[in-house]
């Protein structure tokens, strides 16, 4: 048995977006030396998922630990990638993603969801905006989903993460809003009516169209604090990946 790691993210035409993901993985400190490949679902030519599989199998890897670098189990991409890798018999929603050619055994991991490391990362990006924690609410803003089943997973993960952020930060309250279906503006208005200053935290891996355009547009005319700072870059993300790889390796070697 020779294990390896395949980290999969969405991808972007923005080379800076891609480089931020690469930089996070470069700081990955594993307890043992393993082949690691970083691949993208789309938009990054030559570095798609099949390319990553081929790279690892060419290195002799027999067991691939897959880390889906997405922020929620409610992402349809997490579901379709798991199916296309052969880690589940069928996708929950119809997909255009064709099954990959893979000989190695696949050990599929989990996305960010409500991991404690992520709560710390969110607060680190927000703390400079905080002036009076006893009168502040942190509002996590995520992409969300209009699809039944996926939407519920989004809500479960982001609501639990909001509570972790509240505990870490010490602010009066933490809540969430989704872009799909849209609840962001109404949640900001609600907390303003309670007399709170709202600190808006985008639950996205890296800055882009949603953080720079969509979120500000949804909140136009309202008063709120927003830096637009996303999860990456942050030194805790490599730690999150490393801990997941460690757990998967332990399970793999114990025969689970």
Question: For position 159, which CATH number holds?
Answer: 3.40.50
Residue 222, token pair as written in the block: 């309202």
- pLDDT at 222 (0 to 100): 97
Q: What is the mean pLDDT of residues 58-65?
A: 97
- The percent of residues in the chain predicted with pLDDT above 90, rounded, is 88
Q: How far apart are CA 222 and CA 62, in angstroms?
A: 54
Please answer whether residues 75 and 178 qualify as being in contact, where contact means their C-beta atoms are separated by less than 8 angstroms: no
137 and 97 in a common domain:
no
Average pLDDT, rounded, for the chain? 95
107 and 148 in a common domain:
no
Using 50, 70 and 90 to split pLDDT, how confident is the model at 256? low
Could you give the number of structural domains in the chain? 2
pTM: 0.93
Whether 13 shows a pLDDT value over 90: the answer reads no
Kindly report, residue by residue over 183-203, the tens digit of the pLDDT: 999 999 999 999 999 999 999
The domain in which residue 36 lies consists of 3-112+234-253
Residue 39: strand, helix, or coil: strand
Q: What is the mean pLDDT of residues 197-222?
A: 95
Kindly report, residue by residue over 119-171, the tens digit of the pLDDT: 999 999 999 999 999 999 999 999 999 999 999 999 999 999 999 999 999 99
Q: What is the mean pLDDT of residues 9-19?
A: 88
- pLDDT at 254 (0 to 100): 85
Q: Is residue 30 part of a domain?
A: yes
Which residue, 192, 194, 163, is CA-closest to 176?
163
Q: What is the mean pLDDT of residues 59-71?
A: 97
Question: Which CATH number covers residue 241?
Answer: 3.40.50.1400
Q: What is the mean pLDDT of residues 245-250?
A: 94
Q: Is residue 249 part of a domain?
A: yes
- pLDDT at 17 (0 to 100): 86
Q: How far apart are CA 155 and CA 158, in angstroms?
A: 5
Q: What ranges in 47-149 are assigned the alpha helix state H?
A: 49-58, 76-84, 116-126
Q: Is residue 75 part of a domain?
A: yes
């Amino acid at each position: 048995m020779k294990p390896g790691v395949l980290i999969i993210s969405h991808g972007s035409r923005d080379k800076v977006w891609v480089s931020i993901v690469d930089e996070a993985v470069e700081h990955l400190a594993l307890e043992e030396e393993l082949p690691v490949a970083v691949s993208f679902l789309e938009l990054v030519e030559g570095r798609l998922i099949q390319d990553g599989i081929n790279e690892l199998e060419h290195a002799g890897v027999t067991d691939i630990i897959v880390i889906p670098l997405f922020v929620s189990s409610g992402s349809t991409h997490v579901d379709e990638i798991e199916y296309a890798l052969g880690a589940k018999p069928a996708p929950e929603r119809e997909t255009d993603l064709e099954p990959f050619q893979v000989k190695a055994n696949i050990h599929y991991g989990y996305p960010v969801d409500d991991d404690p490391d992520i709560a710390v990362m969110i607060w680190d990006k927000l703390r400079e905006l905080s002036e009076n924690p006893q009168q502040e609410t942190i509002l996590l803003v995520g992409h969300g989903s209009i699809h039944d089943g996926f939407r519920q997973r989004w809500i479960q993960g982001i609501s639990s993460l909001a509570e972790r952020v509240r505990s870490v930060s010490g602010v009066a309250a933490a809540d969430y809003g989704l872009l799909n279906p849209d609840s962001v503006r109404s949640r900001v208005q609600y907390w303003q009516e309670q007399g709170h200053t709202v600190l808006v935290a985008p639950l996205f891996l890296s800055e882009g169209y949603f953080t720079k355009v969509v979120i500000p547009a949804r909140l136009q005319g309202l008063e709120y604090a927003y830096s637009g700072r996303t999860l990456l870059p942050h030194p805790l993300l490599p730690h999150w990946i490393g801990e997941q790889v460690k757990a998967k390796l332990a399970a793999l070697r114990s025969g689970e």
